[in-house]
Amino acid sequence: MNNFKDCCALLVLAGSRTAEVEGISAAGASSAARRYTAVADAELLLKGPLGSRSWPLPPLSRGVSPALISYVASNFLGLKPLVLANGLYQVPPFAHICLEPPSLGPAACLSTGKAMDPRRVRNLLKKGFLMGSKSRESLLIAECVPGGTTTAQAALMGLGMSVSDLISGSVANPPVAIKKRLVESGLRAAKIGKMPSAEELLAAVGDPFQPVAVGLLLGARKAGQQVVLGGGCQMLAVLALALSELEASSRESFVEGVVLGTTSWLVEEGFSANNRKSALVKLINVVEDFFNVELLGLSTGLRFDQTRHKPLMDYEDGYIKEGVGAGAFALMAQLHGISCKEIVNGCEKSLEELQSRANSFACSSS
């Protein structure tokens, strides 16, 4: 992991109308709120709780945005992520790179089987690859895509993996039935058959984040750079899509330079009362067996079990769990000698600042 201590951090934002399905995601308490989650989270990561932000954090049923963790950890590192924004409902009010016309907007709901125009997917793959191939240092790729675990499930199932009971989400009990229904509808409507290309699959049931991230990953590895994929199910789908585009003989060497970095909350999540084995570990095993490779996944030791702040304690109860590269940024901070206690203290302080600012705004508006 020493090769990952100095890296370029990329935060990829995207939107999909899949997130507007009722009950599909808790990354915003309503479908309207989820339309600006990505921009609001990115602003918190870039500017911090006291910074001037154009978009308020969307209301959540439990917890607080994982961008808070990412902000604290990246602040310890002195690392300012570069933002790539495609397929959003709005143009971000901060510096960012857009690889396509903003007017294209979010992908259609994956249940249609026509999430994106194939030309759009091809363009994002190409530009992501070009950017990755020019990298001169290791990459940390993070994401914020409401509804993204469902498009990840669609990608993995479209490749031929049975994973419907292994996909996480931002609530304590992920909506397995809703996700499965949407994915089956989308794949049935798409009629893409067995062994589709990544491009075909993403055009049918993907979101704009996925082709960008797949391109970045393929390009960076071609350039000989190591890559940290910050997240869980969504990043495993990206890795699987990349592997599907490679010759079997080159897959093992490809994954030797890739690490999945995530949180302990996600790693410890299990969906069955009779089998509490980590759903994420089982999902990793499914991808390994499918492509005949060995993958490396690492989780941060960060925990909130001793905090007095309920929005942080909610992580221990199975809410939020991961997002905006929280696990990977915390892991990077640990590699640089920052203790988990320091990160917890930083999160508590930042949460208090966030709450104080929200209260001040509420008072001034009344």
- Give pLDDT tens digits for 51-102: 999 999 998 889 999 999 999 999 999 999 999 999 999 999 999 999 999 9
Average pLDDT (3-26) is 88
CA torsion sign for 161, 325, 242, 148 is positive
At 275, the pLDDT band (50, 70, 90 cuts) reads low
DSSP 8-class letter at 327? H
Average pLDDT (338-364) is 83
Tokens of 241: 């899509």
At 274, the pLDDT band (50, 70, 90 cuts) reads very low
For the chain, list the domains and their CATH numbers: 2-365 (3.40.50.10210)
CA torsion sign for 312, 337, 335, 48 is positive
Output the DSSP codes for 165-217.
Answer: TS---SSSS--HHHHHHHHHHHHHHHT--SS--HHHHHHHH--THHHHHHHHH
Please report, for the chain, how many H helices and E strands are present, in that order: 15, 6
pLDDT at 5 over 90: no
pLDDT at 361: 42
- Give pLDDT tens digits for 313-322: 999 999 999 9
pLDDT at 193 over 90: no
pLDDT at 61: 87
pLDDT at 360 over 70: no
Which of 72, 62, 33 is CA-nearest to residue 309? 62
CA torsion sign for 262, 183, 27, 96 is positive
Tokens of 67: 């961008």
In 37-94, DSSP assigns E strands to 82-85
CA torsion sign for 99, 100, 105, 108 is negative
Decide if 151 contacts 206 (C-beta within 8 A). yes
- Give pLDDT tens digits for 289-315: 999 999 999 999 999 999 999 999 999
Say what the pTM is. Answer: 0.95
Q: What percent of the chain has pLDDT over 70?
A: 95
Decide if 97 contacts 127 (C-beta within 8 A). no
pLDDT at 366: 36
pLDDT at 365 over 90: no
How many CB atoms sit inside 10 A of residue 76's CB? 19
pLDDT at 364: 41
Decide if 63 contacts 315 (C-beta within 8 A). yes
Residue 7: CB partners within 8 Å, gap ≥ 6?
Answer: 137, 138, 139, 140, 226, 228, 332
pLDDT at 257 over 60: yes
Output the DSSP codes for 151-170.
Answer: HHHHHHHHHT---TTS---S
Residue 70: CB partners within 8 Å, gap ≥ 6?
Answer: 45, 142, 324, 325, 326, 329
